[in-house]
Structure 1
Amino acid sequence: MSKQIAVLGAGSWGSVLANVLTENGHHVTLWTRSAEQAAEMNTHHTNQKYVHDFEYESALTATTEMAQAIAGADMILLAIPTKGLRQVAHQLGQLLATMDIKPVITHVTKGLEQGTYKRPSEMIAEELPADHYQGITVLSGPSHAESVALHDMTAVTIAANDEQLAKDVQGLFMNQYFRAYTNNDVVGVEVAAALKNVIAIGSGILSGLGYKDNARAALITRGLAEIRRFGVSFGANPMTFIGLAGVGDLVVTATSQNSRNYRCGFQLGQGQSVAEIEANMGMVIEGLSTVKVAHEIAEKRHVSMPITDAIYKVVYEGQAITEVVTELMGREGTTEVE
């Protein structure tokens, strides 16, 4: 059955997911702050700043008016970077309080809030009136927007505390190239989604320094151990981290040129500064802020995260990358099973 869906955020992932939902026969309205971007989407069905040389479904419409986008919505998909999520959720909450709708809220944000250390679903719940939405779900997994746009076979996780809610959202996205599984571990899925960006920066650094497959495989594997330890300290299910939201998303993010976090790390390894990389990337690099939050939380909760700490030293303390690598490899031997 066709549903009315609003997608808030017209970057690469938000716009491509809006296109998937449109292809699936739903009525989708995409919200953006940029009038120029909305005009481009509606007139040319392109989004060149974020997804080059791709033509979107003509039935997909864009608007700069959030109230227009969410009018009558059965589901609202938030595709907003962590830094801007609370502001957009607050604006959405004010509108929902005046409307006679009760949509499902789904988000694809991958990060942790600086200062509060909140996960995206917690931020959203704090900003929306509880009686004006059905519940919150999170979509995550190994899914670069550029590949989904090309109909590359993709599998993701839909996590929610309410199993039926997860199944309802699962049905909206499923098609011949886009497969969704359900999961009830919201904490684990959100932690994995955030911290894989940190490990991806580390993987890129090694590649930028000239290290090969052995080094990256070691970093990814031990990085996954850090992510699991971090998540379990918050009550996450350890099995989540060997699933799509865990190892799946980590592998694709830490090995692909489509990953801006991997590219950021590569450029760091090549000697560029964080400021130069951010200026040239043109899109948010979530791992740069997440590594600070993860480092601070790990210190408070006494969670061992040597790779995350090493990347923090590079990004925020200016320590030489070669020194950090030497320190990591020179640590006292320990057991693999912790």
Structure 2
Amino acid sequence: MTTVTVLGSGVMGTAMAFPLAENGHEVRLVGTHLDREIIDSVKKSGLHPNLDLGVPEGVRAYQLEEAEAAFEGAEIALVGVNSFGVRWAGERLAELLRPGMDVLAVTKGLEATEGGDLRILPDVMRERVPEELRESVSWSAIVGPAIAGEVAVGHETCVVFTGEEAEVLDRLAGIFRTESYHVWTSTDFVGCEVCAAVKNCYAFGAGFMDGLLDREGKTENRYRRFNYGSALFAQATRELAGWMELLGGRSDTPYGLPGVGDMLVTSLGGRNVRAGRFVGSGVPFSEVREKKMKGVTLEGVAAIEVIGGALPKLTERGEVGAGDFPLMRHLHEVVAEDAPVAMPWGTFFGGESSR
């Protein structure tokens, strides 16, 4: 039996308790300062209010003030916070980790330096941990198409555990793998994490398809603009490959679970797609953020602001061409400048021939 402490009791962090419990491992669920009602509910009734499911029997819940007790003797720290909490999580881990532990993150996103360099979030997280402790634990992440509720109810799910140490990944995979939760491993840490972050951006664009139908009053029309959506998906896939070339990931990573697999499931629905649908219908993004979806966490939009915002600096330095990543550039215009959706089709797929 392995003891796993989950930092962050949101839907994904909690969902991971289900395969772990199925395999007979001990799970301790620690809420952040934003999760107090969730932890209270789990403690009182065993119900996770956002999943609307009872957590597995034996899973123990802890408020943040009880985190030290929850980490006592734990072998794995599973980080379940979103991208906005990654620095906070790193600071908490600096206080709670012990040498020899394995850190496994489900957080997805990238961070940009002032110069425009893009960094994966596990690197941002671990730099908050003192160097000696940082080097005495392993750092890995989970990527791939995994809707939390489907993991929790045991629907077939295929993911990738990624990190720099193959032996660690194999060991972790064996702890989590069940008959319905299937785990592959990859040491392409950068490539997998970049795909996990960038696909959220393109999922925002996937919402434009239905938004345009809403604008035309043709949402129930049999002709659904699937051609439009498919072309965006294809261009997004091409750009995923471009990010691999630029940031040092492996060329095949975008075409598996971390890339197109995860991008497909994210594009089917969720908060990012909903926000994109509003914009596609003609609502300026600033109004979407401030009124239509006020208070809603939009990690895809945050990623567009970071990644799309880095592109001008990377272009100025000559690391990317002015015509590279046209879809990401347009998504950034929509988010940062309130530009209307006006897809630059002629720039896609290397440029449309004028002949």
When normalised by structure 2's length, the TM-score is: 0.85
Alignment of 1:157 onto 2:160 = yes
Query: Are the structure 2 counterparts of residues 213 and 333 from structure 1 closer, same or farther at C-alpha, using a change threshold of 3 Å?
Result: closer
Match of 1:82 in 2: 83
Equivalent residue, structure 2, for 1:198? 201
Kindly indicate whether residue 129 of structure 2 is the aligned counterpart of residue 109 of structure 1: no
SS of corresponding position for 1:136:
strand
Distance between the aligned counterparts of 2:11 and 2:246, measured in 1?
32
Q: Which has the larger radius of gyration?
A: 2
Q: Distance in 1 between matches of 2:171 and 2:105?
A: 14
| One of 188, 191, 204 as aligned partner of 1:188 | 191
- CA distance in 2 between partners of 1:267 and 1:14 (Å): 29
The 2-side partners of 1:154 and 1:68 are apart by 32
Tell me, in whole angstroms, the C-alpha distance in 1 between the residues paired with 2:142 and 2:127.
19
Q: Which moved more, 1:202-211 or 1:219-228?
A: 202-211
Q: Give 3-state SS (helix, strand or coil) of 1:311's partner.
A: helix
The answer to whether 1:313 aligns with 2:333 is yes
**SS, match of residue 89 in structure 2:** helix
1:25-64 matches, within 5 Å, as 25-32=24-31, 33=33, 34-48=35-49, 50-51=50-51, 53-64=52-63
Shift of 1:114: 4.8
Change in Cα spacing, 1:332 to 1:178, as seen in structure 2 (3 Å) is closer
Q: Which runs of 4+ in 1 moved over 6 A?
A: none
**2:15 paired residue number:** 16
Unmatched tracts of structure 1, length 5 or more: none
Aligned to 1:298: 311
What is the CA–CA distance in structure 1 between the aligned matches of 2:287 and 2:55, rounded to whole Å? 32
How far apart in 2 are the matches of 1:214 and 1:38?
A: 45
Decide whether aligned partners of structure 1 residues 63 and 190 sit closer, same or farther in structure 2, where only a CA change above 3 A counts: same
Distance 1:331 1:36 in 2: 48
Report the CA distance between 1:181 and its aligned residue.
0.1
Cα pair 1:142 1:248 within 8 Å, conserved: yes
Corresponding position of 1:284: 297
CA gap of 1:8–1:36, structure 2 versus 1, over 3 A, is same
Secondary structure of 2:108's aligned partner:
coil
Question: In 1, Cα distance between the equivalents of 2:163 and 2:250?
Answer: 13
Q: CA deviation at 1:172?
A: 1.4
Q: Report the more deviating stretch, 275-284 or 63-72.
A: 275-284
Paired residue for 1:269? 280
Aligned residues of 1:155 and 1:179 also touching (Cα < 8 A):
yes
Amino acid at match of 2:162: A
Superposed CA RMSD in Å reads 2.1
In the superposition, relative to structure 1, how do residues 331 and 234 fare at CA in structure 2: closer, same or farther (>3 Å)?
Answer: closer
The structure 2 residue matched to 1:135, chosen from 117, 133, 138, is 138
Q: Displacement, 1:264?
A: 1.9
Distance across 2 between alignment mates of 1:271 and 1:191: 30
Are 1:230 and 1:298, in contact at CA under 8 Å, matched by a contact in 2? no
Q: Give the drift of 1:4.
A: 0.6
Corresponding residue to 2:244 among 222, 228, 231: 231
Partner of 2:57, secondary structure, is coil
TM-score normalised by length of structure 1 = 0.89
1:156-185 per-residue CA deviation (whole Å, 9 max, x = no partner) reads 001111100110111111001100001010
- Where in structure 2 are there 5+ consecutive unaligned residues? 214-223
Give CA deviations for 1:62-116 in whole Å, capped at 9, x if unaligned: 11122122111111011111121111211211333xx5x4210111111112546
Q: State how far apart, in whole Å, the 1-side matches of 2:80 and 2:9 are.
A: 7
Alignment check: 8 A CA contact 2:109 2:303 kept: yes
Structure 1 residue 229, shift from structure 2 partner: 0.5
CA distance in 1, matches of 2:46, 2:247: 43
Task: Determine if the alignment matches structure 1 residue 166 to structure 2 residue 182.
Answer: no
- 2:141 is paired with a residue whose SS is strand
Aligned to 2:231: 218
CA positional deviation for 1:209: 1.0
Q: Return the alpha-carbon distance in structure 1 between the equivalents of residues 111 and 306 of structure 2.
A: 7
| Pair 1:178–1:237, CA change in 2 (3 A) | same
Tell me the secondary structure at the aligned position of residue 110 of structure 2: coil
C-alpha distance 7-333 of structure 1, shift in aligned 2 (>3 A): closer
Query: Cα distance, 1:46 vs. partner?
Result: 1.7
